[in-house]
């Protein structure tokens, strides 16, 4: 009997392993494919010749990316915007979510509705631009953070976390021991909310790292972040078929580089995030579940 | 209560502030037909498009020299991407420059911005004193003036256009055809035909048999040694500009070019306008080609593939028949094996047996959306004098290709300018001639007249090659050379109608065309339902009326 159950354990283990392996393959192969394609002749890729290894090996795409003057400044800009933006956003989240989590806050309901309202209604692109323009932020990096400084969705997650996962008794105990409100916040609440802090850091980080549209609207010249630099490299290399009539190099050749660059820029833009992710991942699972499920 | 009153007052104040702010942006409405004689302003701000490959306008020696001659200085604000969004934002916010250059405003935009006073009416400025060069051209080419004049008689922008026609390779000026006349050149693998002992098809039936033979014999594997089963008898895009399937429809008396005006609009030689997509020939055509699709002769990916995928397949030698702007570019190292496949006649035993009808396309239109002066400009005369210098063969040549001394190396005995050769460009600048040109090309009101190719500079080799093919091979197959003129001028109401229906109409036609090709032609009931849908939901009758009216006015003015 005992042996049989051991067998079935092992069998189910095996089945699970197989299922996981299949899922892993399904998820990982497309990513791997992009890596391979970034080293391959794009016309061979599109003709279905590339499977596990690069076909028509080439480094032209990466050459075009790394020989671009803007790539270093774009990378530094992106790092700057991501770091400053993440710190700013997380601070804003905490100082809005914590008060809203306090049941004795006067006007709590009205304030909540005030925040919630912005999730459903926005000003639209042109009015927002006008506001940013009139506040003199166009061209400054603060135009990336200030207009959308508090992510309301994230704020609600954090607020729920404060309400559900930090026992009110604990806060009271701290106060009885002589803590001021601020001291409680810094010495009790923040250390206890590390998991959700990590989640919010990752959310903001990824959002700021990937954001190109805001920068496209408000920034220009030397201030543009990496995704915009990538986009410019891509646009530079691309031509429409109707332009082909007058391009003496030929459309097919020009287009080849464009297609190759699509893969290369994906890799270059995603690598830094991929490198950071493992370090915050352990907080990530825990915090994400904690904030969301117990809402 | 006090609080509520305070907030109400505050929001009222804010609202008023916002409203008066809007009104403040539109005070200089000067479209009253008089000339603003102010000559003080010599520093101008211009915003506009730039080729992504350009090295910028600040250091462009051609532009700098022109500014010096006109005695003005321009601060450029250019972008190669998302221009339309930026321009919209700026105009809405009232933060726009003295002029827009190279934006490509549509006639609809022009009418809108003209009516609200944002753009100046340039009609009073088009005098030999202010714009001698342009006026001379307009004098000689009244059709250019007609094309840029709005229905109400106003002109909101300077003309631009590139008349690349067969006149540049020696055809008669009045009888010349644009390089865009037949955008789709169909081609067939002659080596495969020879191997199978077949002739180049002249009818759809013959092509059908040839495609079947390509497929049955797996020619890609047999002749080029590719993997078994890779043969694609025929692959094209779906309703694409230079790589669509449309050229094959000629056997049914039309080719429904995806048109700039609207899909499928067709001008018959008697001067009446019709939509091909509601004609019986169109129905028969789709019914016929569904059989090809069902037999696997047409590529199943034709509806979804991009041009990159098409090139990829062709350059691997998988393809028997395809369509592109040139053979060499699409076929790469296999190019030698391909020959042009002429427009084919319709299927035997039907009323289309001897039909071969290619609908030709008009050339690029003369537009007035490339240079538009706004009401922020204090001295339009100074700016217009600068732009008048553009209306000269040698100047526009340099704006299009690059300066004399860089891109143009000298003149031959007939006084024509010679472009830099590929070898010279590599030796002198270390880049291709195309790259040299790209660095200098300026977007703006460039009017390149057909005669410049005979008097000022030579057309590029590739264009000459394509025009020669057009003239020698393709045009002889075209019997009816009427096409809907792109220069037709619409009234404001008409533009509203087109703008309202265009997207729906095109989407409905395209979707249904694809479905019938894939799933089989329409039954009588389906066909009726489709036509009803077009006229009731997509405004087909209104559109037809609009296009007919505009054409009638155009024809009457000629």
Residues of chain A contacting residue B329, judged by C-beta atoms under 8 Å apart: 244, 250-252
Give chain A's contact residues with B (Cβ, < 8 Å).
Answer: 42-47, 49, 125-126, 129-130, 133, 216-217, 231-232, 235-236, 238, 241-242, 244-252, 255, 258-259
Query: How does the average pLDDT of chain B come out, rounded?
Result: 88
What's the residue count for chain B?
558
With cut-offs at 50, 70 and 90, classify the pLDDT of residue B78: confident
Dihedral sign of CA atoms B145, B151, B154, B157 in order: negative
Say if residues A188 and A170 touch (Cβ distance below 8 Å). Answer: yes
- In angstroms, the separation between the Cα of residue B32 and the nearest Cα of chain A is 30
Q: Please report, for residues A86, A203, A209, A224, B10, the alpha-carbon distance to residue A212 in angstroms, rounded to integers and kept in the order given.
A: 16, 16, 8, 9, 36
Mean pLDDT for the stretch of residues A28-54: 90
Name B187's bridge partners: B322, B340
Name the residue with higher pLDDT: B169 or B383: B383
- Please check the confidence at residue A230 and state whether its pLDDT lies above 90: no
Following DSSP, what letter does each residue of A283-295 receive, concatenated? HHHHHHHHHHHT-
- In angstroms, the separation between the Cα of residue A288 and the nearest Cα of chain B is 37
Mean pLDDT for the stretch of residues B215-225: 95
pTM: 0.81
- In angstroms, the separation between the Cα of residue B465 and the nearest Cα of chain A is 11
- By three-state DSSP, how is residue A178 classified? coil
Per-residue model confidence as pLDDT tens digits over B359-399: 888 877 888 999 999 999 999 999 999 999 999 999 999 99
Mean pLDDT for the stretch of residues B297-313: 92
CA dist B181 and B360 (Å) reads 5
For residue A77, what are the contacts with CB-CB under 8 A and spacing of at least 6?
A: A223, A224, A225, A226
Residues of chain B contacting residue A126, judged by C-beta atoms under 8 Å apart: 88-89, 92-93
CA dist B194 and B435 (Å) reads 40
With cut-offs at 50, 70 and 90, classify the pLDDT of residue B261: low
Helix ranges restricted to H, B430-491: 433-440, 452-455, 461-469
Mean pLDDT for the stretch of residues B3-25: 45
- Please check the confidence at residue A239 and state whether its pLDDT lies above 70: no
- In angstroms, the separation between the Cα of residue A126 and the nearest Cα of chain B is 6
Per-residue model confidence as pLDDT tens digits over A184-227: 999 888 888 888 888 899 889 989 998 888 998 888 778 889 98
Please answer yes or no on whether B316 and A42 come within 8 Å at the CB atom: no
- By three-state DSSP, how is residue A196 classified? helix
Residues of chain A contacting residue B242, judged by C-beta atoms under 8 Å apart: 241-242, 244
Residues of chain B contacting residue A242, judged by C-beta atoms under 8 Å apart: 241-242
- In angstroms, the separation between the Cα of residue B135 and the nearest Cα of chain A is 29
CB-closest option in A46, A242, A246 to B309: A46
| Burial (Cβ within 10 Å: 0-12, 13-18, ≥19) of residue B99 | buried
CA dist B441 and B437 (Å) reads 6
Point out the least confidently predicted range of A233-247, B192-206, B222-236, B336-350.
A233-247
With cut-offs at 50, 70 and 90, classify the pLDDT of residue B446: very high
- Please check the confidence at residue B26 and state whether its pLDDT lies above 50: no
Buried b or exposed e, range B381-406, using 16+ CB within 10 angstroms: bbbbbbbbbbbbbebbbbbbbbbbeb
Cβ–Cβ contact B92 with A under 8 A: yes
Residues of chain A contacting residue B311, judged by C-beta atoms under 8 Å apart: 43, 46, 252, 255
- By three-state DSSP, how is residue A54 classified? coil
Please answer yes or no on whether A129 and B93 come within 8 Å at the CB atom: yes
Mean pLDDT for the stretch of residues B50-73: 90
Place of tokens 């211009």: B46
Please answer yes or no on whether A244 and B466 come within 8 Å at the CB atom: no
- In angstroms, the separation between the Cα of residue A290 and the nearest Cα of chain B is 40
CA dist B79 and B32 (Å) reads 32
CB-closest option in A125, A250, A259 to B308: A259
Q: Which helix (H) or strand (E) holds B204?
A: helix B204-216
* Percentage of chain B lying above the pLDDT 70 cut: 93
Q: What is the pLDDT of residue A250?
A: 65
CB-closest option in A46, A238, A250 to B312: A46
Of all residues in chain A, the one with the smallest CA distance to B461 is: A248
Extract the tokens encoding A83.
Answer: 């770091």
Say if residues B357 and B72 touch (Cβ distance below 8 Å). Answer: no
Optimal mutation site among B311, B323, B419, interface A, most CBs of chain A within 10 A: B311
CA dist B458 and B410 (Å) reads 12
Interface size, chain A vs chain B, as Cβ–Cβ contacts under 8 Å? 92
CB-closest option in A46, A126, A248 to B89: A126
CA dist B28 and B374 (Å) reads 10
Among 1.10.260.40, 1.10.3720.10, 2.60.40.10, 3.40.50.10540, what is the CATH number of A62-291? Answer: 1.10.3720.10
Q: What is the pLDDT of residue B1?
A: 41
Say if residues A94 and A76 touch (Cβ distance below 8 Å). Answer: no
Optimal mutation site among A40, A42, A43, A262, interface B, most CBs of chain B within 10 A: A43
For residue B274, what are the contacts with CB-CB under 8 A and spacing of at least 6?
A: B266, B268, B544
Of all residues in chain A, the one with the smallest CA distance to B94 is: A130
- By three-state DSSP, how is residue B163 classified? coil
Q: Please report, for residues A79, B245, B345, the alpha-carbon distance to residue B350 in angstroms, rounded to integers and kept in the order given.
A: 69, 21, 11
CA dist A94 and A86 (Å) reads 12
Say if residues A200 and A292 touch (Cβ distance below 8 Å). Answer: no
Extract the tokens encoding B160.
Answer: 């631009």
Going from N- to C-terminal start, the domains of chain A cover 1-58, 62-291
- Please check the confidence at residue B55 and state whether its pLDDT lies above 50: yes
Q: Which of B43, B64, B79, B100 is nearest to B399 (CA)?
A: B64
The complex scores an ipTM of 0.72
- In angstroms, the separation between the Cα of residue B238 and the nearest Cα of chain A is 15
For residue B37, what are the contacts with CB-CB under 8 A and spacing of at least 6?
A: B381
Q: What is the pLDDT of residue A255?
A: 80
Of all residues in chain B, the one with the smallest CA distance to A41 is: B312
CB-closest option in B89, B308, B460 to A129: B89
Residues of chain B contacting residue A238, judged by C-beta atoms under 8 Å apart: 52
Place of tokens 């601060």: B75
With cut-offs at 50, 70 and 90, classify the pLDDT of residue B325: confident
Query: How does the average pLDDT of chain A come out, rounded?
Result: 84
- In angstroms, the separation between the Cα of residue A268 and the nearest Cα of chain B is 21
Say if residues B411 and B26 touch (Cβ distance below 8 Å). Answer: no
Of all residues in chain B, the one with the smallest CA distance to A233 is: B52
With cut-offs at 50, 70 and 90, classify the pLDDT of residue B342: very high
């Amino acid at each position: 009997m005992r042996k049989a159950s051991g067998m079935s354990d092992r069998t189910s283990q095996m089945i699970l392993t197989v299922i996981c392996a299949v899922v892993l393959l399904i998820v990982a192969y497309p990513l791997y494919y992009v890596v391979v394609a970034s080293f391959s002749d794009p016309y061979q890729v599109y003709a279905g010749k590339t499977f596990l290894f690069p076909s028509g090996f080439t480094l032209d795409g990466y050459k075009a990316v790394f020989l671009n003057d803007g790539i270093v400044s774009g990378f530094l800009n992106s790092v700057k915007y991501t770091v400053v933006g993440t710190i700013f956003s997380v601070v804003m989240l905490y100082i809005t979510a914590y008060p809203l989590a306090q049941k004795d806050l006067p006007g709590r309901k009205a304030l909540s509705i005030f925040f919630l309202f912005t999730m459903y209604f926005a000003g639209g692109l042109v009015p927002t631009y006008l506001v940013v323009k009139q506040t003199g932020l166009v061209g400054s990096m603060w135009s990336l953070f200030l207009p959308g400084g508090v992510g309301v969705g994230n704020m609600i997650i954090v607020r729920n976390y404060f309400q559900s996962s930090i026992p009110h008794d604990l806060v009271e105990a701290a106060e009885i021991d002589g803590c001021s409100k601020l001291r409680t916040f810094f010495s009790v609440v923040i250390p206890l909310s590390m998991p959700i802090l990590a989640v919010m850091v990752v959310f903001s980080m990824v959002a700021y790292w990937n954001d190109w549209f805001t920068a496209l609207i408000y920034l220009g010249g030397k201030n543009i972040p990496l995704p915009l630099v990538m986009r410019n490299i891509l646009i530079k290399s691309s031509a429409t078929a109707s332009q082909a009539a007058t391009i003496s190099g030929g459309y097919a050749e020009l287009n080849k580089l464009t297609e190759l660059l699509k893969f290369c820029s994906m890799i270059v833009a995603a690598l830094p995030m991929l490198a950071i992710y493992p370090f915050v991942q352990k907080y990530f699972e825990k915090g994400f579940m904690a904030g969301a499920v117990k809402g | 209560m006090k609080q509520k009153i305070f907030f109400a007052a505050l929001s009222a104040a804010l609202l008023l502030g916002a409203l008066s702010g809007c009104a403040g942006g539109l005070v200089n409405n000067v479209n009253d037909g008089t000339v603003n004689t102010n000559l003080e302003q010599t520093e101008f701000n211009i915003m506009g498009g730039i080729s992504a490959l350009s090295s910028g306008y600040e250091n462009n020696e051609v532009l700098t020299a022109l500014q010096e001659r006109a005695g003005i200085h321009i601060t450029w604000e250019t972008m190669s991407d998302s221009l339309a969004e930026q321009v919209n934002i700026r105009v809405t916010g009232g933060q726009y420059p003295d002029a827009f250059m190279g934006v490509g405003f549509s006639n609809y935009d022009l009418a809108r911005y003209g009516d609200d006073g944002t753009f100046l009416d340039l009609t009073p400025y088009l005098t030999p004193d202010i714009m001698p060069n342009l006026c001379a051209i307009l004098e000689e080419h009244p059709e250019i003036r007609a094309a840029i004049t709005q229905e109400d008689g106003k002109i909101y922008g300077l003309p631009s256009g590139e008349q690349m026609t067969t006149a540049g390779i020696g055809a008669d000026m009045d009888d010349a055809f644009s390089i865009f006349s037949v955008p789709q050149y169909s081609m067939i693998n002659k080596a495969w035909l020879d191997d199978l002992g077949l002739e180049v098809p002249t009818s759809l039936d013959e092509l059908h048999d040839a495609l079947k033979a390509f497929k049955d014999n797996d020619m890609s594997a047999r002749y080029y040694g590719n993997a078994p089963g890779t043969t694609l008898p025929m692959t094209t895009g779906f309703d694409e500009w230079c790589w669509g399937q449309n050229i094959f429809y000629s056997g049914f008396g039309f080719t429904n070019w995806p048109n700039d005006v609207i899909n499928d609009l067709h001008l018959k030689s008697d001067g009446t306008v019709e939509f091909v997509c509601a004609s019986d020939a169109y129905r028969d055509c789709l019914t016929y080609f569904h059989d090809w699709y069902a037999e696997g002769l047409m590529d199943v990916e034709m509806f979804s593939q991009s041009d990159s995928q098409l090139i990829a397949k062709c350059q691997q030698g998988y393809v028997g028949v395809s369509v592109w702007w040139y053979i060499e570019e699409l076929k790469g190292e296999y190019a030698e094996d391909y020959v042009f496949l002429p427009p084919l006649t319709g299927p035997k035993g039907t009323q289309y047996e001897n039909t071969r009808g290619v609908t030709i396309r008009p050339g690029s239109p003369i537009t007035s959306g490339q240079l538009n002066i706004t009401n922020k400009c204090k001295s339009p005369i100074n700016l217009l004098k600068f732009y008048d210098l553009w209306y000269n063969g040698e100047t526009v040549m340099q704006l299009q290709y690059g300066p004399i001394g860089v891109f143009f190396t000298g003149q031959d005995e007939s006084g024509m300018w010679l472009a830099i050769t590929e070898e010279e460009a590599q030796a002198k600048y270390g880049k291709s001639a195309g790259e040299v040109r790209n660095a200098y090309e300026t977007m703006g009101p460039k009017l390149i007249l057909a005669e410049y190719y005979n008097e000022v500079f030579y057309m590029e080799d590739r264009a000459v090659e394509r025009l020669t093919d057009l003239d020698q091979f393709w045009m002889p197959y075209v019997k009816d050379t009427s096409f809907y003129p792109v220069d037709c001028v619409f009234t404001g109401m008409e533009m509203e109608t087109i703008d309202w229906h265009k997207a729906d109409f095109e989407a409905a036609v395209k979707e249904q065309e694809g479905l019938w090709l894939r799933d089989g032609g329409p039954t009588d009931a389906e066909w009726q339902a489709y036509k009803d849908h077009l006229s009731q939901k997509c405004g087909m009758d209104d559109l037809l009326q609009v296009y007919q009216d505009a054409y009638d006015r155009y024809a009457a003015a000629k």
